[in-house]
Amino acid sequence: MPYSEVDLRGAASAGVISATDLARLLAFLSSEAPSSGAPATPAGDTVPAAKFDAAHLLWYAGALIVMGAMGIFSTVAFSQIGGRALVACAIVYAIVFTLAGHHLWYRRNLRVPAGLLIAVAVSMAPLAVYGLQAELGWWGKFGKPGTVHDFYIWIKGSWIFMEIAAVTAGVVALRFFRFPFIVSIIAVALWFMSMDLTPWIFDVAHFDFEMRRRVSVWFGLAVIALAWIVDYRSRSGDFAFWLHLFGLMAFWGGITASESATELGRAVYCLFNVGLLLLAVFLMRRAYAVFGTFGISLYLGNLAHVVFKDSLLFPFALSMIGIAVVAAGLLYHRSSRAIAAWLSANLPQAVLRLRPDGRV
């Protein structure tokens, strides 16, 4: 059973081990673990450590530029070169970037640039499907949705096939290259799918805001459940981060967009966001705290607007809310280890087993 530094510090805070033992144990693990004789992790399963330096910045920037050039910033002329040309372009890009990524991953042991190249190859899947649909006219009952560029702007039922292709390509890539950033493409495709599924679920070409909101809530909840499963099953690397993030965007966004005409309904919304803060502590996921804080701030801002309407005190009331949020963050930062130790000591084992292994 793996344990993280957070678990060890929580044990020290609970008095299970002394501070001296904790320091000696952490020093031993950091210096001796690589040569302890434990079985080595297979090369294909090694997850690169997250860093932020000039090399990593250039690698990520280059990959995002290529993805954007072939998708977000593609012009109408790019879409008019024909379906066959689009499919050929996407396939050539995918093959070239896959071969380059495979070489860097297995031959050079450069996992970060290799994983980013594989992510670029995965992002070609929607483009290839668009070209195939354009060539054969397979747009489904909702018709041609527009250009490649429109995929990132408009909600259309016909985009669903491109999103399925992106998710499938991402899952296949993760089978051979365990690089967490690939999950970001899957998560974005799932987020888009949460909106483009609305015409299919309600079987209408024209849909209203309430339809989109309801689909967003339930689909986002399903993605969050998937993220929990990935968290529970993953033993190395943070593969669930993007799923948590985009699942929350769909779920929290749908909840926040619901209209509540009563103060009771708004208070329930505030309690919902307080629950997200508690989940952030339990799951050790900051994304839940961010969305929960935004929700509570929205509620308090609305409350301040009602109480201090047309008053000079309104901006000062908002300022106090902001200061209170910052103070709450500082308090949690100072007490996070004690909170983690208390949870470890008091929660049932069946519940504790649902927590990820020390991820933040």
Residues 6+ apart with CB under 8 A from 212: 155, 195, 198
CB 201 within 8 A of CB 219: no
8 has a pLDDT exceeding 60:
yes
pLDDT score at 165:
93
The predicted-structure confidence for 97-125, as pLDDT tens digits, reads as follows 999 999 998 888 888 889 999 999 999 99
96 has a pLDDT exceeding 70:
yes
pLDDT score at 132:
87
pLDDT score at 119:
92
Average pLDDT over residues 259-279: 83
Q: What are phi and psi of 298, to 5 degrees?
A: -60, -45
The predicted-structure confidence for 225-256, as pLDDT tens digits, reads as follows 888 888 777 655 677 888 888 889 889 988 98
Q: What is the pTM of this model?
A: 0.67
The predicted-structure confidence for 128-176, as pLDDT tens digits, reads as follows 888 888 888 777 666 677 766 666 666 676 788 888 999 999 999 999 9
SS3 69: helix
Mean pLDDT of the chain: 77
Q: How many CB atoms lie within 10 A of CB 336?
A: 16
Q: Considering Cα of 147, then 150, then 155, then 159, what sign does the dihedral take?
A: positive
pLDDT classification of 37: cutoffs 50, 70, 90: very low
354 has a pLDDT exceeding 50:
yes
CB 182 within 8 A of CB 173: yes
**What is the distance, to the nearest Å, from the Cα of residue 319 to the centroid of all Cα atoms in its chain?**
30
pLDDT score at 330:
76
pLDDT score at 41:
40
The larger pLDDT score, comparing residue 30 to residue 100, is at 100
